[in-house]
Amino acid sequence: MQLGHPLIETPFQYRNCCWFCQEPAAKYFSFPQVNNFIVNCIHPSLSLYCCNECYVPANKSKASSIWLVFKEVKSYLIKKYQKDLAIGVNWTQEELANSQFENGNFEGFQRSAWFMFEVAKKRVNFNGWPLVIDGLNIEELKWEVKESFIFDGIEYPSIDDAILHYAQAFFIPEDYFKEVVVNVGSTKFSYAVRFCRLLIGTTPNERKAALKNLLDG
């Protein structure tokens, strides 16, 4: 593992863990990178532990701070493990246990599905640990990062990530779902999901009329 900048201090319980997702670390990620010229980086240069999977989006990022890189990595994980996260949307642990998939084509799914969901959820929800370099805590510089969005036990980097995830999980047109959320408000996200699910298979004109009726009512 190549170390490009000072290594952040790591709490004992997270030794050798990826700062992005808590999986076992395989290398260092240094920020800013040599080929990523950032004129006004708001924090000191640093290196942190990273797993091979999170290193891929982190290394491609052109973000201006490590916290914005963090957001991009989380978006990457949500997209990559969309099917695993969707298990928690469509099932409960009890429903899977009582699904009667034994001895059928879905027996393997029944055994591993909830475990895979919990692993993906844990990785997406992990928030790293405070960034401290040579005794200097730089967490107060985190001001430019947009607030995350938490829904149904999953912490999304932004509400746009949540919209994309649910649009894909339920085959809802993303632009339409976003329009509904904007109109009803993010606090009624679950209502927006239920409303859009009722319109699956409808035409664009039918969806437009349904939204108009919703807003007029």
State what percent of residues in the chain have pLDDT above 70: 87
Bin 171: left if φ > 0, else alpha if -120 < ψ < 50, else beta. Answer: left
**What stretch of H or E contains 155?**
strand 154-156
Query: What length does the chain have?
Result: 217
Statement: residue 46 has pLDDT above 50: yes
CA–CA dist 21, 144 (Å, integer): 21
The predicted pLDDT at position 105 comes to 47
Cβ-based neighbour number of residue 46 at 10 Å: 22
Tokens of 132: 């401290």
More reliable by pLDDT, 57 or 36: 57
Q: Which residues contact 163 (CB under 8 A, 6 or more apart)?
A: 174, 177, 178, 181
pLDDT tens for residues 72-106? 999 999 999 999 998 888 777 777 676 655 555 45
Tokens of 175: 């632009």
**Across 176-180, average pLDDT:** 94
